Amino acid sequence: MNKCIFATDLHGKTERYDKLFKSITEIKPSIIFLGGDLTPHNYLCSGKNQNDSFLENYLKEKLSQLKLSMNVNYPTIYTILGNDDLRIEEIKLVELEKAGLLKYVNERKCKYEEYSIFGLAYVPPTPFQLKDWERYDVSTYTDLGCISPDLGYRTVDISETEISYRTISRIINDLTGEDDLSKSVFLFHSPPYQTNLDRAALDGIKVDGVQLDLHVGSIAIKNFIEEKQPYLTLHGHIHESSSITGSWKQKIGNTLAINAAYEKEQLSIVVFTLENCSDAKRYLL
C-alpha cells in the first residue's frame, strides 16, 4: 500500500515545515503532495524579490537532510506553486528536481506505478495584485471585487494572447486530452467552484451594494471533475473553507476532492493510501 501525505499553503512558515518533516519521518509515506503557496508572502519592491532564498536555501537543505536520513525510504514528492508564490521561483523547483529532491508537476503528467499524477497551479482571478498564477477560468469574465489577469503585476512575462485566451478550462483540456483518468490524481491549487472546499469568508462584503460571491473556486475545475471523474483531486487556496462548511473533503460523483488548506496556525496534513483514498484522515498538528 502506498501511503501518502498531502499538505498545502504552508506559506514559508518554518514551524509548519518542521512538523511536516517530522510527520514524514514518522509515517514514512511513499508519496508527498505539496499543493502550492510554499514560500513566504512575497512583495515586490522595484522588481526585487524580498524572499528569494527560501527554496534554494531552506527547503533544499531540509529536503537534502531528509533524503540522507531516510535513504531508500525517501518519498516521491510532487509539488506545484500557488498564487502567492512568485513564478520566477519556478526555476528553483526545477533545480530541486534535477537534484532528485522532488518532482515539479505544473502542467505536467507523471506516472507512479499504474497512477497518473497531474499538476496545475492556476487559480481564477482574485482581488490580489500578483497575477503570475492567475488565468481566466472558462471565459474572459472577472468576478465582482476581483482584478483582471490583464492587470496587476507578474514576475515572468507572458503574451497578451496567453493571458486572454488560455483559460484554466483550455489548459486542463490540453493537459489531459483523451486520457483515461480512472487512476489519476490531480494536484490543483484552486478548489472546485460552489463546493464545501471553496467557501470564502465574504459574508456581508459588498461592492456597489452587491454581495460578493461566497464561493471563489474554479468553474473549469468543477466542470472537469463532473465530466471526466478523475480518481482523486487535491486542492488548497481557500484556507477558511473547512472551518465555515465543516468539510475538508467532498465526493463529486465518483471523484474524491480534498482541500488541506487551513486558516489557523497549525499544520494541516491529510494522510491516505493511494489504493484507497476514501480512508483519508486530516490531522491538525
pLDDT of residue 42: 65
C-alpha distances out from residue 266 to 9, 239, 263, 270, 282, Å: 11, 12, 8, 13, 12
pLDDT of residue 1: 86
% the chain with pLDDT above 70: 96
Mean pLDDT over residues 164-172, rounded? 95
At 52, the pLDDT band (50, 70, 90 cuts) reads low
Which of 45, 57, 70 minimizes the C-alpha distance to 12? 57
pLDDT of residue 51: 52
Sequence-distant (6+) residues with CB within 8 A of 162 are none
At 147, the pLDDT band (50, 70, 90 cuts) reads very high
Q: Is the pLDDT of residue 47 over 50?
A: no
pLDDT of residue 264: 93
Q: Is the pLDDT of residue 48 over 60?
A: no
Q: Is the pLDDT of residue 33 over 90?
A: yes
CATH class for the domain made up of 3-284: alpha beta
Mean pLDDT over residues 234-254, rounded? 97
pLDDT of residue 82: 97
C-alpha cell at 248: 475538508
Mean pLDDT over residues 114-121, rounded? 98
Mean pLDDT score of the chain, rounded to an integer? Answer: 94
CA–CA distance, 11 with 42 (Å, rounded to integer): 10
CA–CA distance, 201 with 6 (Å, rounded to integer): 24
Bridge partners, residue 210, by sequence: 207
pLDDT of residue 46: 38
pTM for the model: 0.94
CA–CA distance, 221 with 243 (Å, rounded to integer): 22
